[in-house]
Each structure stands twice: as C-alpha cells, then as structure tokens.
Amino acid sequence: MEIVDYRPEHAAAFKALNEAWISKYFTLEAKDREVLDDPQGKILSRGGKIFMALDGGEAVGCVAMIAMSDGGYEVAKMTVVETLRGSGLGKKLMQACIDAAEAEGAPRLYLETNSSLAPALGLYRSMGFRDLAPAATAYARADVFMERRST
C-alpha cells in the first residue's frame, strides 16, 4: 500500500471512489459533482492537493486538500474502499494531509462531515481534530465541523 500524489490518470478512480461512498450514505450534491468532475480546476490549480492510496497500482482510497483563504486546507473527498475500512488506510491518508499542511506552514486543517459517520469522526478526533460551531456550507449533509490547528 502506498500513498502517492494525484496524477491526471487518477481522475476516474478519484471520481468513482467518492461517488461510491457518497451515494451509499447520502445523495450526490451539486458541489460534489463540481469537484469530482474537475479536480484539476477545482482543487489542484487553486493550490490544493490530492493523495491517492494505491494497492498494487489500483486506487483503493483518496483524500483532497482544498486551499482555503486563510492559508489552511479543507480536508475533503476522503474515502477508502469498503474492503479496506478499518485497516488503518484512512489514518495514513489523513497523516499525509497533516504532514503536507505542516510542511507548508498551514495554520489549520478544516473539515465538514456528518454525525452518522462514527468511524470517520473517531479517526478525526484521534488525529487531533476538534469540533467547531456549525458554519455555512455548500453541503446539505454536513452537520459536523472540525479543525486541527497546526502544532
């Protein structure tokens, strides 16, 4: 298992991985489509990053870091294929985000999620994320807001 920087050939896998988990638990929203249809334009060209988890060259997980106006990053579009959930791969993907943010001197990582995603919430909290007050969001499903301040 390896975590690599996104390359254009990962576009279809990035989209498919995210469509699969979002569709299982929620409804794909306009903001999802916007980002998944154009990760280069909506994430990478705006100063963000995407990491892909590969197993024997096959994409089995991913996470995006969307640049924010305060110099921080929003962690978004994080998922791992169902057969590898609970394997520690999500933790490795999040650690890649933390390491990248710290290397760039970002003040924080921010994320929006849903209260029904208990395993994800547990992971985020175990990695230093703290709950924030609700905020305006483009996602109808988002009801939990968290951040991890840089150390």
| CA atoms of 142 and 13, how far apart (whole Å) | 24
pLDDT surpasses 80 at 151: no
- pLDDT at residue 57 above 80? yes
pTM for the predicted model, two decimal places: 0.96
Q: What DSSP state is assigned to residue 46?
A: G
Per-residue pLDDT tens for 71-115? 999 999 999 999 999 899 999 999 999 999 999 999 999 999 999
The mean pLDDT value for 45-61 works out to: 97
CA distance 123 to 6: 23
Compute the average pLDDT of residues 49-54: 98
CATH number belonging to domain 2-149: 3.40.630.30
Cβ proximity of 40 and 78 under 8 Å: no
Question: Would the pLDDT of 37 be above 90?
Answer: yes
Q: Quick one: angle between helices 11-25 and 30-37, nearest 10?
A: 160
Torsion of CA 66, 68, 73, 75, to 10 degrees: -50
pLDDT reported for residue 27: 95
Instruction: Please determine, for residue 52, whether its predicted confidence score (pLDDT) is greater than 80.
Output: yes
Per-residue model confidence (pLDDT) at position 53? 98
In this prediction, residue 34 has a pLDDT band, given cuts at 50, 70 and 90, of very high
* Domains in the chain: boundaries: 2-149
Instruction: Please report the pLDDT score of residue 150 as a whole number.
Output: 87
pLDDT at 131: 97
The SS3 call for residue 113 is strand
